[in-house]
Structure 1
Amino acid sequence: MGIGESIGDGHVTVVDSPRAPGARGSDFARLARRIADAGLLDRRPGYYAARATLVAGLFGGAWALAAVTGDSWWQLGVAALLAVAFGQVTLLAHDLAHGQVFRSRRSSRIAGLVAGNLLTGLSYGWWMDKHTRHHANPNHEERDPDVAPDILVWSRRQAGSSTGVARFVGRWQAYLFFPLLTLEGLNLRVSSLRALRRPSMKDRRLEALLLIAHNVAYFGAVFALLPPGKALAFLAVHQACFGVYLGCAFAPNHKGMPVLTADDELDFLRRQVLTSRNVSGGRLTTAALGGLNYQIEHHLFPSMPTPNLRVARPIVREHCAALGVDYAECGLLESWRQALSHLHAVGEPLRARR
């Protein structure tokens, strides 16, 4: 198998990679054995019990603060705090979907439905299906739903064939990216409701009931606490901040990294590592991003509990260095610079066609 190298439009080519003398199994299999032998795939129930308690406290505390604040424009600050709480619940649901918390799929699904559908109004089943396809083929033009050219374009090839909204927005998408993120919370809610029309969705009626219960409680609470004008302002600030927070947690990990096509034949290790970027930082960064700052390790071992990702990092980095596989890591601001620079570069053909 070969090493992927970034070229041209962020695509990947394959060159020969000699295997170390005496090595057994694939490059990923040998890494996986080291990770398993180090016990890094073992569950961390104490960590998740503490994290769930803190997140529940933040979530409940934000709503309690809203009730105490009452009819006041200070509620807009509470709305921003509640957006952080919603984001933390969503990040916890992400770990549940990957089986990091419970061994039982049933337990993971029940907790995920509560965290996703009931608490945040996002369909757990829809998001899990979408995210699973992303993990299988990250940054793949045809297979990763996260780089589908719906509004933004992620490669020059997509720019060349774009039409409608994507063709218009793609010209200046680097400048519009953060403003568009303010609509992401609303987009996720709408996509969750639209997904209920799919006959293939598992437990569709249960998901629908939980989403209805959330929306009745969510909108009912806001309009019970505030007059219509302030209630609408609260909802706008909350959903805008929620969308930006989720974007800041998920987007730095892949945007601006190589985009794959059907012509790029990479093994599992290279497909995951070369399309992912770690975000360096301390414990505050890890807490804010829910551990997704260790994106390379997470993509290689999706079921690895969040606190073990930091421990796995030097093992993975050493393994990649021995293979000559690029291991991308930078600070949060630099990750955004790279992502926005990429978006601006791939939108160039659209600007040229004006």
Structure 2
Amino acid sequence: MRMFSLIRLDQELWKTLDLDPKYSLVRKRSIRDWFMLVSSGKHDTRKPYHKLTWYLLTSFDRHGELKNMAGHDLNYLAHAGVLGMMPPTTPEGRPAFPLNILADMAGGGLICATGIIAALLSLAKDPLAPGKVVETDMVAGSRYIASFNLIHSLIQKDPLFAQPPGRSLLDGGAPFYNSYQCSDGGWMSVACIEPKFFATFCTLIQHHLPSNFNPPMDATRPEPSTQGDRDKWRSHERWITEAFKTRTRKEWEDIFKGTDACVVPVLTPSEAARIHGSSPRFHPNFVGYFGEDRPMNLFTQTNSHGQSLRPGAHTFNILRDIGLNSDQMGELKRQGALGDQADDRAKL
């Protein structure tokens, strides 16, 4: 009964959009077919929906060989050539990956949102223009986000990413661009790429070592003059690794705070939310079931305000817009077709 009600509801929705029944979309109920119809220009631009901006975000390229395959963030990074650039986490070379941030959130969500904004700005500039179709996939989006890295990986002898994963400048290969564990198990991030910053780092870390510091025989103390010597990077890394183990994270944080050594502690999510005892410029709140991503305030003159929408908050508003009356909506709710969070008191 619930499925039958949802099918009827779907029919009412498309009827409201006033689609021509001769199109396969109406028969197949395929959102992808509808996008193909709109993007091909075969829809009737005199219809009221022709001003809408549609977006199509797929996993793999819908024209490629993997178009019908299921996948997730890790798969998209792998197919994009980005995962193959990540530093290894095991002796066998298993690549690390940045959670589901790069393909899902950046290559997918952020790229698609940027396209939608561009489409809306285009329509605002020319009110007579037809609606836009924004299309991307998370593989292509990941490649675009990683353009800088991918380009440098193709340049022979490039110092940034031309070496095998884990041996280049910005992927953990350089001893001055990595994270190191402290005596209490905490971690410090080190990113002193520029020579003057590296010199500051060398001075501070050497000055605050205990008198009985005894690095391994195969470890070499880093000096500003040897920063660019790749043959010494591994021995420098071993020395820095042992040096950080002589103090706690808090002690190293106090030593490097306010300096240009480019060294800061690796905070946990809860620690980052309590920076200086108050909320930082942006950090998501956990509210209810889903949590709340507050808008990041980018303007100095005005404050950004926003609230995450609760699932079901506008269900009945939408049903009213497509022409359902109170009895029909009540029947759908009674059958459970609207879920358990639909709010019939919501007002747009």
Calculate the TM-score normalised by the size of structure 2: 0.20
The structure richer in helix per residue is: 1
Q: Which has the larger radius of gyration?
A: 2
Calculate the TM-score normalised by the size of structure 1: 0.20
Kindly indicate whether structure 1 or structure 2 has the higher relative contact order, using CA contacts under 8 Å at least 6 residues apart.
Answer: 1
